[in-house]
Structure 1
Amino acid sequence: MSSGSEAIASDSGQPHSPWLAVAGVCGVYVSFGLAIGVMAPLVDEISADLSLSRSAMGSILGAWALIYVFTAVPGGAVVDRLGLRWSLFVGGLTITASLVLRSMANGPVSLFAAVAVFGIGGPLVSIATPKLVASLFEADERRLPTGLGVSSPALGTAIALAVTNPILLPAFDGNWRPVLVSMAAVSFLTTLGWLYASRAITHVEQGATRTDRSTIARLLKLRSMRTILAITLFSFFFSHALSNWLPEILADTGQSDNAAGYLSAISVTVGIVGSLSIARLVPSRRRPHALVAIFAVAGAMVAGIGSLPFGLLFGALAVLGFARAGIIPLLFLEIMGDKNIAVSDIGAATGLFFAVGEIGGFSGPYVIGWVADTTEGFAAATLVLTGIAGAAAAGALALKFVRGTTDVY
Structure 2
Amino acid sequence: MELEIEKRTLRRISWRIVPFIMLLYFVAYIDRVNIGFAALTMKEDLGFTASILGFGAGIFFWGYFLFEVPSNIVLHKVGARLWIARVMVTWGIISGAMAFVEGPTSFYVIRFLLGAAEAGFFPGIILYLSYWFPARHRAGVTAFFMAAAPISTAFGSPISAALLEMHGVLGLAGWQWMFILEAIPALILGVVVFFYMTDKPEQAKWLKDDERTWLVKAMNEEAAGKGDGAKHSILSGLANPKVLALAMIYFGTSAGLYTLGIWAPQIIKQLGVSSMTVGFLNAIPPIVSVIAMVMWSRHSDRTGERTWHVILACVAAAVGLVVAAGASSIVGLIAALTLVNVGISCAKPPLWSMPTMFLSGAAAATGIATINSIGNLGGFAGPAMIGWIKDQTGSFAGGLYFVAGLLVVSAVLTLVLARFQEPKVLADKAVSN
Where does 1:4-403 land on structure 2 (aligned, <5 Å)?
A: 5-6=8-9, 17=13, 19-165=15-161, 167-173=162-168, 175-199=174-198, 201=200, 203-204=202-203, 215-283=233-301, 285-305=304-324, 306-307=326-327, 309-338=329-358, 341-403=359-421
Structure 2 CA distance for aligned equivalents of residues 187 and 404 of structure 1: 40
Structure 2 CA distance for aligned equivalents of residues 330 and 199 of structure 1: 25
Aligned amino acid, residue 323 of structure 1: G
More helix by share: 2
Kept in 2, the 8 Å contact 1:238–1:364? The answer is: yes
Task: Name the SS for the 2:101 alignment partner.
Answer: coil
For residues 281-315 of structure 1, give each alpha carbon's deviation from its aligned partner in whole angstroms, at most 9, with x where no partner exists: 11465311121111111111111113254334333
Kept in 2, the 8 Å contact 1:21–1:201? The answer is: no
Gaps of 5+ in 2: 205-230, 427-433
TM-score (norm 2): 0.82
Q: CA RMSD in A?
A: 2.8
Kept in 1, the 8 Å contact 2:139–2:352? The answer is: no
Shift in Å at residue 378 of structure 1?
0.9
Structure 2 CA distance for aligned equivalents of residues 312 and 7 of structure 1: 42
Aligned length: 390
Q: Percent identity?
A: 18
For residues 375-394 of structure 1, give each alpha carbon's deviation from its aligned partner in whole angstroms, at most 9, with x where no partner exists: 01212222212222211121
Structure 1 CA distance for aligned equivalents of residues 49 and 330 of structure 2: 29
TM-score (norm 1): 0.86
Shift in Å at residue 369 of structure 1?
0.3
Structure-2 change in CA distance of 1:79 and 1:137 (3 Å): same
Kept in 2, the 8 Å contact 1:31–1:156? The answer is: yes
Structure 1 CA distance for aligned equivalents of residues 298 and 201 of structure 2: 28
Task: Name the SS for the 2:377 alignment partner.
Answer: helix
Structure-2 change in CA distance of 1:4 and 1:139 (3 Å): farther
Kept in 1, the 8 Å contact 2:90–2:117? The answer is: yes
Kept in 2, the 8 Å contact 1:298–1:320? The answer is: yes
Task: Name the SS for the 2:9 alignment partner.
Answer: coil
Structure 1 CA distance for aligned equivalents of residues 360 and 232 of structure 2: 14
Kept in 1, the 8 Å contact 2:232–2:363? The answer is: no
After alignment, is 111-120 or 366-375 more displaced?
111-120
Structure 2 CA distance for aligned equivalents of residues 36 and 287 of structure 1: 28
